[in-house]
């Protein structure tokens, strides 16, 4: 059984100028130990799709799906209370901006231990021990004193490590990383990606990596979903995708990469009709 299974996911927003469809009928499926990358340009609905899985969309969002199952639980029918038991524990998410994604008013320690208390009911000293363990695991030096630090006292890369520590605190089955390195320098990006891949390999959790950076896809994913204007263009194994992209959109995307440039001008993606460019 797939860890996460989604069929025909549609998300629309009630905006002042009418209904806006951000995600239009996406299918996804992910097994334990899988690394799935979702690529697509800005606004193509990558984040919205995953936020809907987490149940983190604002109230203005309308989510519908034929199937939306996580580890045997139907996410569509879940009460808010039951969802909270899963979210943050079995299914965790990290975000793009490490600086703003941590609460500036509380220490790192507080924010990590909070998850442990809520989901695992650990007592004070156990929480502390585990928090130190987690910080060590994500490669933060001097974890004991770092627990007392506030987010603004640390760098972006360190904060992203803390975010990761928080996400893996309860050994989730699925980790969704929404552009976890976009805000970081390449050297830091490398470290964070390496860390994520190592953790994934060590724990065998499912990992969904949202990104718009083709390079990151190439360096991390097993399988890739290409999304465009709310639709899935194609889904393929990573090698397949790079070797023989099926959708014209994917082809154009890869061609636009400067490193793939052949002439002295880059091939330009013209407007695609997402309906016809999609490959099922």
Ligand X SMILES: Nc1ncnc2c1ncn2[C@@H]1O[C@H](COP(=O)(O)OP(=O)(O)OP(=O)(O)O)[C@@H](O)[C@H]1O
Region of 33 on the Ramachandran plot (φ > 0 left; ψ -120 to 50 alpha; else beta): left
Per the CB < 8 A criterion, the answer to whether 9 and 19 are in contact is no
Tell me how far apart the alpha carbons of residues 240 and 161 are, in angstroms, rounded to a whole number: 31
102 makes contact, choosing from Mg ion, ligand X, another protein, none, with CB < 5 to 8 Å by partner type, with another protein
Pattern 197-236, binding to ligand X, x per CB under 6 A? ---------------x------------------------
Per the CB < 8 A criterion, the answer to whether 210 and 243 are in contact is no
Contacts (CB under 8 A) with another protein, residues 189-248: 189-190, 193, 201-202, 212-219, 222, 238-239, 242-243
Residue 171 binds to another protein (criterion: CB under 8 A): no
Whichever of 59 and 280 has its CB closer to ligand X, that residue is 59
Whichever of 137 and 227 has its CB closer to Mg ion, that residue is 227
Whichever of 47 and 101 has its CB closer to ligand X, that residue is 47
Residue 60 binds to ligand X (criterion: CB under 6 A): yes
Whichever of 28 and 154 has its CB closer to another protein, that residue is 154
Segment interacting with ligand X (CB under 6 A) among 15-23, 76-84, 163-171, 200-208? 15-23
Q: Give the one residue of 28, 35, 45, 154 binding ligand X; rule: CB under 6 A.
A: 45
Cβ neighbours of residue 79 under 8 Å, at least 6 residues apart? none
Q: Give the one residue of 6, 24, 37, 40 binding ligand X; rule: CB under 6 A.
A: 40
Q: Give the one residue of 27, 31, 71, 97 binding another protein; rule: CB under 8 A.
A: 97
Report H helices in the chain.
Answer: 46-54, 80-86, 98-101, 108-115, 124-137, 143-146, 156-167, 186-203, 214-220, 238-243, 248-255, 274-277
Cβ neighbours of residue 54 under 8 Å, at least 6 residues apart? 87, 91, 93, 176
> Reduced to 3 states, what is the DSSP secondary structure of residue 272?
coil
Residue 7 binds to ligand X (criterion: CB under 6 A): no
Residue 69 Cβ vs another protein, minimum distance, rounded to whole Å: 18
246 makes contact, choosing from ligand X, another protein, Mg ion, none, with CB < 5 to 8 Å by partner type, with none
Q: Which two tokens stand for residue 69?
A: 């199952």
CA dihedral over 152, 56, 13, 7, signed as positive or negative: positive
Give strand pairing partners of 223: 36, 237
Residue 262 Cβ vs ligand X, minimum distance, rounded to whole Å: 27
Q: Which residue has the CB atom at the shortest distance from Mg ion? A: 47
Task: Determine the angle formed by the axes of helices 124-137 and 108-115, rounding to 10 degrees.
Answer: 110
Size of the site for another protein (CB under 8 A): 80
Residue 43 binds to ligand X (criterion: CB under 6 A): yes
Tell me how far apart the alpha carbons of residues 90 and 92 are, in angstroms, rounded to a whole number: 6
């Amino acid at each position: 059984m797939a860890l996460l299974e989604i069929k025909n996911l549609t998300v629309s927003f009630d905006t002042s100028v009418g209904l806006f469809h951000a995600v239009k009928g996406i299918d996804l499926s992910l097994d334990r130990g899988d690394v799935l990358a979702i690529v697509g340009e800005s606004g193509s609905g990558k984040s919205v799709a995953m936020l809907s899985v987490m149940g983190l969309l604002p109230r203005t969002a309308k989510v519908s799906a034929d199937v939306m199952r996580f580890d045997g639980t139907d996410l569509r029918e879940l009460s808010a209370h039951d969802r909270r038991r899963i979210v943050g524990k079995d299914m965790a998410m990290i975000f793009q901006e490490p600086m703003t994604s941590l609460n500036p008013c509380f220490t790192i320690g507080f924010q990590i231990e909070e998850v442990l208390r809520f989901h695992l009911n650990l007592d004070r000293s156990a929480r502390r021990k585990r928090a130190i363990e987690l910080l060590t695991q994500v490669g933060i030096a001097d974890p004991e004193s770092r627990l007392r630090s506030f987010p603004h006292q640390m760098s972006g890369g360190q904060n992203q490590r803390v975010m990761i520590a928080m996400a893996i605190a309860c050994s989730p089955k699925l980790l969704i990383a929404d552009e976890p390195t976009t805000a970081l320098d390449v050297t830091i990006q490398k470290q964070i990606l390496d860390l994520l891949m190592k953790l994934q390999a060590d724990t065998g959790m499912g990992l969904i990596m949202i990104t718009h950076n083709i390079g990151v896809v190439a360096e991390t994913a097993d399988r890739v979903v290409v999304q465009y204007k709310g639709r899935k263009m194609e889904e393929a194994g990573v090698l397949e995708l790079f070797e023989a992209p099926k959708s014209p959109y994917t082809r154009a995307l890869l061609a636009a990469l400067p490193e793939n440039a052949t002439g002295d001008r880059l091939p330009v993606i013209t407007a695609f009709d997402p309906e016809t460019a999609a490959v099922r």
